[in-house]
Amino acid sequence: MSSIQSQFLDLNVHHAKYEAIDPTSELKDSAKDKVIFIAGASRGIGQATAVAFAQAGAKAVYLTARSEAALQETRALVNRANPKTLCGMSPCDVTNARQVEAAVADCVAQFGGIDVADANAGFLGPWMKIGESDPESWWRNWDVNVRGAYHVARFALAHLIQSAKKREGQGRSGGHLVLLSSVGAQLLMPGASDYQTSKHALNRLCEFVQVDHGDDGIKCFALHPGGVSTELGLNMPQALHAYLVDNPNLPASFTVWLCSGKADWAKGRYLSANWDVKELLSMKEAILQNDLLVNRLRARA
């Protein structure tokens, strides 16, 4: 897996939350008065993210996923993490534009706006070579990973823009959009053409969100959540399961950090939850000056 390591900045890595991104200490109250919309919140990383924002003092967390019963479980965890955080929910398939639009509208109707939108829903089917692949399964990756993220962005952006303007007037940061990416976006692994190309496209979508709406105050990030042993991650070939060593509270807490304002300078870029944030901050000037962590074609040696 040395090819994976070559895609990482030369930073210390973490596998679980730590002080600098801990929503119960360093980031306590960083989400105060904010409304968080999470797609794919029924389990795994999305569920942990909902809990992390509650711990960080969110005014409200709005949960969507296809399973209503699983959403009820997440809501119970949110209530336990912070009884003061309001929690709404609705069953929603991110591939259905009207359902996403309705969920966003319901969130705004209940809680008055959206400050953070987290497009966390994802799909990974069996890995197969292109010539042996099932067309429906191949395109399902794009349907969920790209179309789903686009739908969340499309219908949340107007409210995120309002948040950015409102928070700027308060001297705070708002208008954050997080798209769940993967280190797979940077790799070429046999049999993974559907998943890895969809995540590569999602990184580019993040850049386009920033190009189109950066002047509106939007801060968009494409986030590699680390190797978490989720239901999706376990769909990878058995040989790769040994790399699923990260706790879901790592990407959850990293997402809270991204949306705290501390990472606004890195908007429009691909970031890994494994990277130590203090070391990442020390590279800020180099990253900006050399336009790192974006998709580009290298045409010169």
For residue 116, the tally of other CB atoms under 10 A from its CB is 28
Cβ–Cβ < 8 Å for 4, 227: no
Stretch (H or E) spanning 288: helix 284-289
CA distance 210 to 224: 18
CA 225 to chain centre: 8
Q: Which amino acid is at 256?
A: V
CA angle 95, 45, 65 (to 5 degrees): 35
Number of C-beta neighbours around residue 93 at 10 A: 19
Judging by DSSP bridges, how do beta strands 269-272 and 176-180 pair with one another? unpaired
* Antiparallel, parallel or unpaired: β 116-119 and 219-224: unpaired
The C-alpha angle with vertex 26 and arms to 230 and 217, in degrees rounded to 5, equals: 80
Are 117 and 160 contacting, i.e. CB atoms less than 8 angstroms apart?
yes
Q: SS3 of 301, please?
A: coil
- Using CA of residue 23, residue 145, residue 42, residue 247, what is the dihedral sign? negative
User: What positions carry a catalytic annotation?
Assistant: 195, 199
Centroid of chain to Cα 31: 16
